[in-house]
Amino acid sequence: MQENNINMPQNLNLETTPEETIGQIIKRVRLEKGVRIENAASETKLKAAYLNAIEKDDFDALPAPIYAKNFIRIYGNYLGLDGVELSKKYNSKNIGIIGLPPQKKPASTYYVSLFFHFLFRHPFVLLGIAVVMAVLIFYPSGSDNTEPEIETSPPAAHDPVDTLQPASFDDYQPVFDVNEPLPKS
């Protein structure tokens, strides 16, 4: 940034009081230095209307709060003041105005479209999900036992029903003799 070209008189009072506003401080110093608003506008590259608005504390006439903060800093530095301190003073008075707007919660459809966008942009993920789903659907799980359980209780004393259904194949005895010929019909 350029050095300011205004000559500072020796008896200039740069002390500020807490009740003095930013515009009052800047206007007082500008008038004490004898600087015309048009000269300040051409040196700082800020519009004269903006400098007038700052001196009148009419910050609503400036484009946006972040611009107002920086215009105050530039104008204060040009006049030989501490522009950073002036912009901090502006921040403390307008703390709710400056900053990012509150973040809005996206609609629920945003997350759905984001999910499908991700899936179709990454086909291997989609393929992996399809394989996992197929395995879960078509592969029998261990908890679903489809085989009937064989009872292992000892048979009752020569019950004819129990002799027809042996408990295991080791105990199986055919009803007829294998060496005997089949009956003729």
Burial of 21 (0-12, 13-18, 19+ CB in 10 A): middle
Number of domains in the chain: 2
Boundary-marking domain end, from 67, 93, 119: 93
Q: Look up residue 90 and give its amino acid.
A: Y
- Per-residue pLDDT, averaged over 86-115, amounts to 76
3: in domain: no
* Residue reference for tokens 């519009």: 47
Show the DSSP H helices in 65-177 as ranges.
65-78, 83-93, 108-121, 123-138, 160-164
Of 10-24, 84-98, 145-159, give the range with the top mean pLDDT: 84-98
Same domain, residue pair 124 and 89: no
Domain for residue 160, yes or no? no
Q: Which of 11-15, 25-29, 51-55, 90-94 has the lowest mean pLDDT?
A: 11-15
Query: pLDDT tens-digit profile of 37-74?
Result: 999 999 999 999 999 998 998 888 888 888 888 999 99
Whether 168 maps to a domain, the answer reads no
Do 80 and 123 share a domain, yes or no? no
- For 127-184, the pLDDT digits (tens) are 888 899 998 888 866 555 556 566 666 655 555 554 555 556 666 666 666 677 777 7
Beta carbons within 10 angstroms of residue 142's beta carbon: 5
Q: Does residue 151 belong to any structural domain of this protein?
A: no
Supply the range of the domain harboring residue 122.
108-138
Asked whether residue 35 is domain-assigned, the answer is yes
Q: Is position 164 within any domain?
A: no
Q: How many other C-beta atoms are found inside a 10 Å radius of the C-beta of residue 38?
A: 10
- Going by C-alpha positions, the residue among 18, 80, 75 that lies closest to residue 48 is 75
Q: Is residue 180 in a domain? A: no
pLDDT above 90 for 14: no
CB 47 within 8 A of CB 41: yes
181 lies in some domain: no
